[in-house]
């Protein structure tokens, strides 16, 4: 088979049999009555029935699917009709009806899914022909349950990819890295490409890094996710490829099989692991035991329970798909209403999608259109401030005196003079972010000659957002009302033109790609606020005009507008000899308006080769159904650098830090100052990656696996640095630090085993493990600090520090060694100055980056029942428990603030011992989680007499986060509160994070 | 087919010619200024960071908390822990990563840089003020460098904005500063103070520079060798100021630190704070209790239970006046302002804080549920408790004892200082105050002259005359009694009485050889701590120029 690059990136399904042999005529039909055909479709190897197999009359829209026993019944126009049998993971078959009335068919499994189509950017290939390190995930493999964003679909599914939710907040940020972070400040989020449109990773709304910009996608619209990991695979995305590329492909219609799918899911969630603070009784005992003054209000309140709830999630989806030979469509509408486990927090999403493909001009022109529109509404729990990621109401509940009643005798939240009832706090604040986003692209492709295809891709992605942050006026606790609103708009326009040339002759196959891409990003934001709303039933959100105080001191509006352009030229050549020697070369030249005048364009090359040993005569008879060695090298860039940093700026403004009175008048002079120095040499960060891999299949494809070694070295690290001479107009300037490198090195192993019994029992066992090491070298700084600690007594302390020879995410802390005889903490004196615990005594005490990630999944099915389990875990990482550092120590309990048994665990500790940032609060972050367990049952519609209308009914129950084994005693070890300092990323800090939920989801899925 | 090909190429061409120049939409460099605007716009930034330099956590913290005048424990185990930096500063165990040192360094170097920018731009501007402005910018460059020399032991000489600064230390630095001040003195105005640098200001700075010259020449020596000529210069410049007749010792000591002190005759050079622009109340609010709310209009503008004076410093007062209480004898120690009527109700205008060193039970506005308790249109004044610190039974009653022990770190420990007025003109409470912060004032000049007389030839009589002139001037209430004897120890004590919490203490203690002394929670005797460490970030930043920026000894 010629491994042709399918012309459209949108055609992803391997089986798509109908699109392939276009133009095959079918004879003139004789005018006779319809013939009814029935039969059974089985797995040719195992004899097992195939349920849900598509049976389509070729060239028509007539079709059906097999039931749970693999049987079907269909009427065809004539004996000359051809039936096409197609099923995921199997080679489709076409059978001419002839004069038979029963047609039993055995489908052959497509060998180890070797012919599975993988999307590689500006084209597709098949798994067996790929030379880069990439992984494809089909919708059937996705995680299930309550899903907010696509990262969650692939958590734990792909070796080398680490997905960590920042907190348990619905719609909250997901941190995703592919083969480790490669920058200090640039962030390490991979490039996401949705149906050929490269998305911008900027926040889409509300001045907040806490919301995930990918929340807008309906997970049920996603057909497959392809993860490009090594440089040979990502170099086609040049300056944006360094952190990996994730290609998301949405569902397309299939000719002939018209489907209507309805699904409804209802989920119940609860806080999975509340923090073990003292109960009221224990609190009474402990406060007295420590010599504190007990303020006992006689109640017994579990404040965590008071601010949380059993949260209900409802999720409804309607999907339509179908089409004819020349026109296919897919459409969907979905609603997801998700209550957060904390009261008054909520995430709602409404989406609509329409994808269509039309063939014209004798099928020479294929027009693909994708359109999605969505609205997400996040209601977030009370934060410290509009830009804070930590949840103050969580802190209030953890520390609150448990003897205070939450409600008064009338059932209203109780009000106290010297005590803030967390339930009141919860009601006094509202923080709502609404984002409307439309992503559309149209991509015609034209077959110019037999071998040459031209494709145009025009795309637009527009997100507009509003965030309203309201504080209600109140007497107890006394506060003024305030409303702050932030409006934003992100626009991303893409124009791409490319040619694909495909030719095979003799033993040679060649595919060449040449293209141009232009992309423009425009982002603006404006905010304003107004103060002093009266106490009134009218919420400020609904009538901002009721605010009574508006001063430039307290309500100065702000705004920003940024425009960036990216222009690229790219090319790729794939060459194959005898179907077993594979070569790929890629080059992309990227120019960005963010780069300095002296470095406008960067060139990113890559080369890779593959050798399919299993095709060699000497191995044909061996145990390997597949054996391929791959090797690749390439350079990619990271252009996620701030805008405008290459340009000088001197401004003239009246402000406290630039102006000064020169006389008695109150017209103050506008001070002219430099706020930024020019640096025309600024460029992208460069990462050079080498990958050696092995793909193998054994026992006729029952056991398959992939093994990869990679080494990714990132250089030209971009930092805001301090000049050697401190006398500079601006105290810092941006530069690419010479020599400094960040290296990610590791091994990934993925294994999958399949078993199917004659009796219809199927079992899939899979797993992957990643060993990864990250290291910073040649940094000119003794330490680059990040991760500012929070809480009283912790001002100015940082938790993360990047030092040479240690990984990113290192915790750079003084080392706590215990309590001395005065009851005071002692710290190791590492610099030998005789004083333990100065800043100079800090050590690299471990990193937030795991050194091992492991995942395991199992899928069993038998007679309509199926059971899927996914486990995932990490080890080798640590977590800084800033929550405990700020809240749980003896001195706090003595003052009447609740704490945990751990907080008073040191018997010798003085009740006035301070708790500065130290390794005392650094904890092991390893965990192992049963993250997803689904039991499903496919009900045979015949059993309930719906055979005529319904082709499949599926009932399912999913448990999410059913258990987690960990030593960590915060809410959850998978956490990262954003505590960035000066743009330097923070890692592994847990501060008043939104608690993680355990959920049970019940689903009903009907296909018509 | 050809048509489509042409169309394609046209499309390619259409969007293929972007030059990728960055289009900056939300910022613009300053253009189109008039000469006056340009001249003002260059000078104003040179001064503009002064309020930030003189912030409670910047220059104030490093000049006062490092001495016996101020101590800041970890209040109640919840406040001002700040990762131990205030304990370290007091115990002289600070490190090169100290954030307050870094911030102060950053502001001073920025001030110098702004002066360099101004000095390169001003000569190109055609405005009548330019000559004075150039002198002021150059004088301020020298002043910031003088602070760097005092704190970090070095100065940066820079004239060409594109060049690399020359670093000078010791004698060379001292000579550089002298020559700079002398060079600008003739061109400075006399009548633009106290907010801007004037002739009087530079005379005061020169007197201060000469007074400390021995230290600056030879920082770590146990007994700096004094030069008689230096003392002559101190006397000469002090004489110029006193003889100018432009400044006067004022009768009301605390009026020097009032919100309306801009026209106070005692100020020679000061940070001009305005409530509309750049002011703060941080020096007032730092030390007060979290339950002291000085302004009826701002129910959230309270103190922070920050630093207190050490018992050691307090005892210098009691020892001086025993058996009498210092409050009754020295008007600089304490002023009672608020009288509480029988019904405890006071009109808003009469809610005025006591000033000076606050001891014992405090009374003030009562805050319940975030609002002040009223009696009709008046405000109720009462005994204060630590309600905001969750300790409603603990009275706001300041004790003498304060240290880093459990008891000594409680919210109420240590006598507090309210010297700078909590400005009622503020628009936001804690910020936007308008007290001008004195940099050089006349009483300091008298005391410098007295010290020079003593140091030069032990002219006790001359020195006593200066010291007693100050004491006698405070006639708003009964002035403090005249001193009858004087030596260097008594003079240092007198400087403490007159200038406490005015950010000269660390410099004074070093000059008097007392910085290695022992006081509450402070035992360190390492003379290398006379200099602060250069911030690690600056050292790291200069690591590509080996030997350029060398860390001070001992850090």
For residue A413, how many other CB atoms are within 10 A of its CB?
Answer: 17
* Closest C-alpha to B249, from B469, B504, B551: B469
| CB contact at 8 A, B334 and B327 | yes
B77 vs A912: CB contact, 8 Å cut-off?
Answer: yes
B192 vs A670: CB contact, 8 Å cut-off?
Answer: no
* Model pLDDT, residue A62: 76
Write out pLDDT tens, residues A32-91: 457 888 888 887 766 777 877 888 887 776 778 788 778 888 888 888 888 888 876 677
A727 vs B165: CB contact, 8 Å cut-off?
Answer: yes
- Spatial distance between the Cα atoms of A235 and A223, rounded to a whole number of angstroms: 24
**Which of A839, A898, A921 to probe the B interface (max B CBs under 10 A)?**
A839
Percentage with pLDDT > 70 across chain A: 95
* Model pLDDT, residue A993: 92
* Model pLDDT, residue A819: 93
DSSP symbol at A552: H
| CB contact at 8 A, A1007 and A260 | yes
B77 vs A891: CB contact, 8 Å cut-off?
Answer: yes
Distances, alpha carbon B395 to alpha carbons B351, B384, B418, in Å: 20, 6, 19
Going by pLDDT thresholds of 50, 70 and 90, the confidence category of residue A948 is confident
Q: Cβ contacts (< 8 Å) between A892 and chain B: which residues?
A: 77-78
Residue ranges of B 345-364 with Cβ closer than 8 A to chain A: none
- Spatial distance between the Cα atoms of A388 and A553, rounded to a whole number of angstroms: 21
- Work out the average pLDDT over A334-358: 96
- Spatial distance between the Cα atoms of B531 and A532, rounded to a whole number of angstroms: 48
* Model pLDDT, residue A634: 96
User: B370 CB near a chain A CB, below 8 Å?
Assistant: yes
* Closest C-alpha to A212, from A136, A270, A156, A152: A152
A656 vs B538: CB contact, 8 Å cut-off?
Answer: no
> What residues have CB less than 8 Å from A997, skipping those under 6 apart?
A168, A269, A270, A271, A272, A311, A341, A960, A961
Q: Cβ contacts (< 8 Å) between A562 and chain B: which residues?
A: 25-26
Write the ipTM. 0.94
* Model pLDDT, residue A840: 84
| CB contact at 8 A, A471 and A33 | no
Q: Which residue has the tokens 């010479």?
A: A738
Going by pLDDT thresholds of 50, 70 and 90, the confidence category of residue B402 is very high
Q: Cβ contacts (< 8 Å) between A521 and chain B: which residues?
A: none
Tell me: cis bond preceding A758? Omega within 30 of 0 counts. Answer: no
Percentage with pLDDT > 70 across chain B: 97
* Closest C-alpha to A927, from A854, A1006, A824, A859: A854
Distance from CA of B323 to the nearest CA of A (A): 36
Cβ-nearest to B278 among A418, A656, A911: A656
Residue of A nearest to B542 (CA): A724
- Spatial distance between the Cα atoms of A585 and B191, rounded to a whole number of angstroms: 76
Q: Cβ contacts (< 8 Å) between A554 and chain B: which residues?
A: 428
* Model pLDDT, residue A519: 96
**Which of A496, A593, A661, A682 to probe the B interface (max B CBs under 10 A)?**
A661
Q: Cβ contacts (< 8 Å) between B195 and chain A: which residues?
A: 660-662
**Which of B19, B107, B113, B545 to probe the A interface (max A CBs under 10 A)?**
B113
* Closest C-alpha to B184, from B206, B199, B205, B169: B199
Residue ranges of B 101-140 with Cβ closer than 8 A to chain A: 105-106, 109-110, 112-114, 116-117
Q: Is the pLDDT of residue B14 over 60?
A: no
Q: Cβ contacts (< 8 Å) between B406 and chain A: which residues?
A: 910-912
Going by pLDDT thresholds of 50, 70 and 90, the confidence category of residue A351 is very high
| CB contact at 8 A, B71 and B87 | no
Q: Which residue has the tokens 């609740």?
A: A898
Write out pLDDT tens, residues B32-72: 889 999 999 999 999 999 999 999 999 999 999 999 999 99
User: B368 CB near a chain A CB, below 8 Å?
Assistant: yes
Q: Pairing relation of β-strands A245-250 and A191-194? A: parallel
- Spatial distance between the Cα atoms of A437 and A433, rounded to a whole number of angstroms: 13
Q: Is the pLDDT of residue B31 over 80?
A: no
| CB contact at 8 A, A463 and A205 | yes
Instruction: Tell me the range of A614-623, A729-738, B189-198, B405-414 where mean pLDDT is highest.
Output: B189-198
- Spatial distance between the Cα atoms of B114 and B131, rounded to a whole number of angstroms: 17
SS3 label, residue A86: strand
B387 vs A417: CB contact, 8 Å cut-off?
Answer: yes
Q: Pairing relation of β-strands A245-250 and A222-228? A: antiparallel
Kindly state the tokens that stand for A203.
Answer: 């926040």
Give the least confident one: A180-189, A221-230, B453-462.
A180-189
Write out pLDDT tens, residues A886-909: 999 888 898 889 999 999 999 899
Write out pLDDT tens, residues A246-267: 999 999 988 777 889 999 999 9
Average model confidence (pLDDT) for chain A? 88
Percentage with pLDDT > 90 across chain B: 81
* Model pLDDT, residue A648: 84
| CB contact at 8 A, A638 and A240 | yes
Going by pLDDT thresholds of 50, 70 and 90, the confidence category of residue A27 is very low
B387 vs A418: CB contact, 8 Å cut-off?
Answer: yes
Write out pLDDT tens, residues A183-212: 887 678 899 999 999 998 888 876 666 788
* Closest C-alpha to A666, from B72, B434, B311: B434
SS3 label, residue A731: coil
Write out pLDDT tens, residues B100-149: 999 999 999 999 999 999 999 999 999 999 999 999 999 999 999 999 99
- Spatial distance between the Cα atoms of A814 and B83, rounded to a whole number of angstroms: 11
Write out pLDDT tens, residues A788-825: 998 877 877 899 999 999 999 999 999 999 999 988 89
Residue of A nearest to B8 (CA): A497
User: What are the phi and psi torsion angles at A935 (to 5°)?
Assistant: -115, 125
Cβ-nearest to A673 among B45, B390, B545: B45
SS3 label, residue A33: coil
Tell me: cis bond preceding B323? Omega within 30 of 0 counts. Answer: yes
Using CA atoms of A395, A396, A399, A405 in order, give the dihedral in degrees to the nearest 10. Answer: -150
Instruction: Tell me the range of A68-72, A333-337, A621-625 where mean pLDDT is highest.
Output: A333-337
* Model pLDDT, residue A70: 84
Write out pLDDT tens, residues B242-288: 999 999 999 999 999 999 999 999 999 999 999 989 999 999 999 99
Q: Which one is predicted more confidently, B3 or B531?
A: B531
CA angle B431, B106, B306 (to 5 degrees): 40
Helical segments of A868-911, H only? 882-887, 890-894
User: B394 CB near a chain A CB, below 8 Å?
Assistant: no
- Spatial distance between the Cα atoms of B430 and B279, rounded to a whole number of angstroms: 10
> What residues have CB less than 8 Å from B204, skipping those under 6 apart?
B237, B241, B268, B269, B439, B440, B444, B445
Residue of A nearest to B18 (CA): A567
- Work out the average pLDDT over B86-95: 93
- Spatial distance between the Cα atoms of B484 and B494, rounded to a whole number of angstroms: 13
| CB contact at 8 A, A790 and A979 | yes
Distance from CA of B237 to the nearest CA of A (A): 25
B109 vs A731: CB contact, 8 Å cut-off?
Answer: yes
User: B88 CB near a chain A CB, below 8 Å?
Assistant: yes
- Spatial distance between the Cα atoms of A190 and A177, rounded to a whole number of angstroms: 7
Q: Is the pLDDT of residue A11 over 70?
A: no
Q: Which one is predicted more confidently, A842 or A621?
A: A842
Cβ-nearest to A669 among B40, B278, B539: B40
Cβ-nearest to A660 among B22, B106, B278: B278
Cβ-nearest to A731 among B96, B106, B117: B106
DSSP symbol at A944: G
* Model pLDDT, residue A945: 78
Write out pLDDT tens, residues A107-159: 876 655 667 788 999 998 888 889 999 999 988 889 988 999 999 999 989 99
* Model pLDDT, residue B25: 85
User: What are the phi and psi torsion angles at B534 (to 5°)?
Assistant: -65, 135
A553 vs B432: CB contact, 8 Å cut-off?
Answer: yes
Residue of B nearest to A724 (CA): B542
Bridge partners, residue A191, by sequence: A245
Q: Cβ contacts (< 8 Å) between A668 and chain B: which residues?
A: 44, 274, 276-277
């Amino acid at each position: 088979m010629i491994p042709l690059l399918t012309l459209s990136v949108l055609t992803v399904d391997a089986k798509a049999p109908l699109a392939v042999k276009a133009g095959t005529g079918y004879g003139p039909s004789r005018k006779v009555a319809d013939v009814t055909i029935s039969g059974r479709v089985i797995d040719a190897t195992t004899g097992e029935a195939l349920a849900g197999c598509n049976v389509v009359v070729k060239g028509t829209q007539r079709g059906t699917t097999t039931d749970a026993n693999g049987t079907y019944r269909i009427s065809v126009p004539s004996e000359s009709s051809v039936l096409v049998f197609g099923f995921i993971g199997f080679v489709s078959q076409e059978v001419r009806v002839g004069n038979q009335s029963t047609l039993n068919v055995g489908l052959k499994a497509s060998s180890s899914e070797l012919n599975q189509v993988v999307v590689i950017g500006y084209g597709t290939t098949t798994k067996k022909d790929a030379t880069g390190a990439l992984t494809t995930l089909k919708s059937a493999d996705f995680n299930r349950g309550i899903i907010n964003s696509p990262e969650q679909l692939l958590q734990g599914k792909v070796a080398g990819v680490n997905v960590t939710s920042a907190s348990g907040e619905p719609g909250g940020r997901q941190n995703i890295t592919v083969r480790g972070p490669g920058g200090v400040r640039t962030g390490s989020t991979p490039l996401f490409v949705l149906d050929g449109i490269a998305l911008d990773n900027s926040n889409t709304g509300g001045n907040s890094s806490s919301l995930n910009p990918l929340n807008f996608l309906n997970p049920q619209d996603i057909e497959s996710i392809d993860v490009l990991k090594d440089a040979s695979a990502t170099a086609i995305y040049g300056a944006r490829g360094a952190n990996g590329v994730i290609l998301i492909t949405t569902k397309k219609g299939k000719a002939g099989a018209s489907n209507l799918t309805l699904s409804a899911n209802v989920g119940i969630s609860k806080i999975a692991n509340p923090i073990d603070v003292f109960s009221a009784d224990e609190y009474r005992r402990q406060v007295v035991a420590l010599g504190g003054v007990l303020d006992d209000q006689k109640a017994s309140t579990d404040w965590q329970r008071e601010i949380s709830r059993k949260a209900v999630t409802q999720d409804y989806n309607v999907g339509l798909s179908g089409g004819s030979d020349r026109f296919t469509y897919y459409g969907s509408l979905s609603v997801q209403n998700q209550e957060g486990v904390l009261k008054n927090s909520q995430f709602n999403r409404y989406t609509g999608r329409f994808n269509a493909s039309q063939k014209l001009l004798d099928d020479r022109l294929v027009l693909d259109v994708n359109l999605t529109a969505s609205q997400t509404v996040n209601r977030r729990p009370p934060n410290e401030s509009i830009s804070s990621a930590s949840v103050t109401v969580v802190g209030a509940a953890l520390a609150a005196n448990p003897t205070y009643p939450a409600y008064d005798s009338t059932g209203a939240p109780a009000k106290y003079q010297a005590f803030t009832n967390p339930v009141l706090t919860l009601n006094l604040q509202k923080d709502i972010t609404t984002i409307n986003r439309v992503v559309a692209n149209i991509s015609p492709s034209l077959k110019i000659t037999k071998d040459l295809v031209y494709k145009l891709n025009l795309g637009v992605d527009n997100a507009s957002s509003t965030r309203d942050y309201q504080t209600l006026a109140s007497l107890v606790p006394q506060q003024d009302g305030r409303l702050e609103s932030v409006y934003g708009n992100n626009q991303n326009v893409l124009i791409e033109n490319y040619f694909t040339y495909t030719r095979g002759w003799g033993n040679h196959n060649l595919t060449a790609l040449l293209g141009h891409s232009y992309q423009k990003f425009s982002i603006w934001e404006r905010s304003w606020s107004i103060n002093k709303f009266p106490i009134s039933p009218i919420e400020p959100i609904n009538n901002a005009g009721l605010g009574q105080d508006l001063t430039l001191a307290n309500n100065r509006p702000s705004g920003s507008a940024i425009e960036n352009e990216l222009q690229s030229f790219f090319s790729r050549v794939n060459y194959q000899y005898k179907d077993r020697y594979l070569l790929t070369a890629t080059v992309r030249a990227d120019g960005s308006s963010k780069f300095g005048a002296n470095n406008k364009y960067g060139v990113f090359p890559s080369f890779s080769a593959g050798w399919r040993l299993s095709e060699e005569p000497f191995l044909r008879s061996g145990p390997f159904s597949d054996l391929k060695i791959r090797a690749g090298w390439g350079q990619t860039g990271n252009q996620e650098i701030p805008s405008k940093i290459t340009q000088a700026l001197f401004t003239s403004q009246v402000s406290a830090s630039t102006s000064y009175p020169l006389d008695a008048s109150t017209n103050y002079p506008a001070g002219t100052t430099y706020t930024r120095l020019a640096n025309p040499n600024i460029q992208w960060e460069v990462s050079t990656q080498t990958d050696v891999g092995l793909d193998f299949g054994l026992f006729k494809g029952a056991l398959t696996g992939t093994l990869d070694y990679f080494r990714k070295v990132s250089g030209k690290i971009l930092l805001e640095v301090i000049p050697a001479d401190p006398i500079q107009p601006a105290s810092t300037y941006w530069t690419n630090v010479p020599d400094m490198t960040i290296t990610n090195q590791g091994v990934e192993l993925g294994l999958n085993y399949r078993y199917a019994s004659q009796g219809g029992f199927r079992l899939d066992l899979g797993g992957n493990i990643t060993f990864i090491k990250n290291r910073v070298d040649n940094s000119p700084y003794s330490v680059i600090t990040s991760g500012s600690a929070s809480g009283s007594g912790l001002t100015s302390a940082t938790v993360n520090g990047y030092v040479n020879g240690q990984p990113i995410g290192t915790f750079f802390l003084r080392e706590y060694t215990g309590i001395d005889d005065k009851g005071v903490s002692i710290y190791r004196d590492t610099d030998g100055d005789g004083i333990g615990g100065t800043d100079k005594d800090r050590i690299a005490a471990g990193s937030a980056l795991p050194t091992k990630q492991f995942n395991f999944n199992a899928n069993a099915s038998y007679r309509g029942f199926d059971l899927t389990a996914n486990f995932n875990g990490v080890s080798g990482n640590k977590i800084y428990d800033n929550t405990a550092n700020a809240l749980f120590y003896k001195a706090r309990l003595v003052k009447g603030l609740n704490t945990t048994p751990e907080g008073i665990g040191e018997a010798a500790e003085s009740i006035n011992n301070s708790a500065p940032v130290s390794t005392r609060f650094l904890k092991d972050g390893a965990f192992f989680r049963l993250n997803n367990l689904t039991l499903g049952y496919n009900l045979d519609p015949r059993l309930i007499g719906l055979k005529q209308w319904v082709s499949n009914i599926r009932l399912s129950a999913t448990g999410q986060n059913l258990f987690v084994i960990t030593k960590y005693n915060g809410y959850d070890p998978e956490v990262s509160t954003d505590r960035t300092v000066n743009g330097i990323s923070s890692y592994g800090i847990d501060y008043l994070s939104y608690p993680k939920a355990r959920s049970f989801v019940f689903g009903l899925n009907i296909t018509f | 087919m050809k048509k489509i090909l042409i169309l394609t190429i046209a499309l390619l061409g259409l969007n293929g010619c972007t030059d990728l120049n960055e289009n900056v939409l939300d910022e613009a460099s300053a253009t189109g200024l008039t000469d006056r605007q340009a001249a003002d716009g260059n000078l104003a930034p040179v001064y503009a960071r002064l309020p930030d330099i003189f912030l409670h956590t910047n220059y104030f913290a490093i000049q006062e908390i490092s001495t016996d005048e101020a101590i800041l424990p970890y209040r109640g185990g919840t406040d001002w822990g700040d990762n131990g930096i205030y304990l370290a500063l007091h115990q002289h165990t600070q490190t090169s990563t100290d954030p307050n040192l870094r911030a102060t360094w950053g502001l001073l170097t920025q001030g110098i840089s702004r002066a360099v920018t101004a000095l390169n731009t001003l000569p190109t501007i055609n405005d009548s003020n330019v000559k004075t402005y150039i002198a002021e910018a150059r004088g301020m460059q020298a002043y910031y460098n003088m602070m760097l020399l005092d704190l970090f032991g070095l100065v940066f000489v820079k004239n060409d904005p594109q060049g690399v600064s020359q670093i000078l230390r010791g004698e060379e630095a001292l000579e550089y500063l002298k020559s700079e001040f002398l060079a600008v003195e003739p061109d400075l105005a006399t009548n633009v103070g106290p907010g801007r640098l004037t002739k009087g200001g530079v005379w005061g700075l020169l007197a201060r520079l000469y007074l400390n010259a021995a230290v600056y020449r030879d920082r770590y020596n146990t007994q700096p060798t004094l030069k008689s000529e230096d003392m002559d210069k101190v006397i000469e410049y002090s004489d110029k100021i006193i003889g100018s007749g432009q400044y006067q010792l004022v009768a009301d000591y605390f009026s020097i630190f009032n919100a309306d002190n801009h026209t106070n005759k005692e100020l020679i050079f000061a940070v001009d704070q305005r409530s509309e622009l750049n002011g703060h109340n941080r020096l007032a609010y730092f030390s007060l209790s979290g339950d002291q709310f000085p302004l009826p209009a701002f129910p959230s503008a309270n103190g922070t239970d920050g630093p207190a004076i050490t018992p050691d410093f307090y005892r210098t007062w009691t020892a001086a006046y025993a058996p009498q209480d210092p409050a009754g004898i020295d008007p600089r120690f304490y002023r009672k302002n608020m009288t509480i009527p029988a019904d405890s109700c006071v009109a808003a205008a009469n809610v005025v804080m006591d000033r000076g060193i606050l001891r014992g039970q405090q009374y003030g506005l009562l805050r319940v549920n975030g609002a002040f308790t009223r009696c009709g249109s008046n405000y109720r004044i009462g005994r204060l408790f630590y309600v905001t610190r969750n300790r409603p039974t603990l009275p706001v009653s300041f004790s003498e004892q304060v240290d880093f022990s459990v008891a000594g770190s409680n919210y109420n420990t240590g006598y507090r200082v309210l010297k700078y007025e909590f400005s009622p003109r503020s628009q936001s409470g804690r910020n936007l105050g308008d007290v001008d912060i004195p940099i050089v004032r006349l009483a300091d000049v008298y005391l410098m002259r007295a010290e020079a007389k003593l140091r030069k030839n032990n002219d006790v009589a001359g020195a006593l005359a200066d010291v007693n002139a100050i004491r006698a001037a405070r006639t708003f209430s009964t002035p403090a009694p005249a001193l009858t004897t004087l030596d260097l120890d008594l003079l240092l004590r007198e400087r403490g009485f007159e200038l406490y919490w005015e950010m000269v203490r660390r410099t004074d203690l070093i000059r008097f050889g007392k910085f290695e002394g022992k006081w509450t929670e402070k035992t360190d005797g390492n003379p290398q701590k006379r200099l602060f460490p250069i911030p690690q970030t600056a050292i790291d930043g200069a690591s590509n120029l080996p030997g350029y920026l060398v860390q001070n000894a001992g850090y």
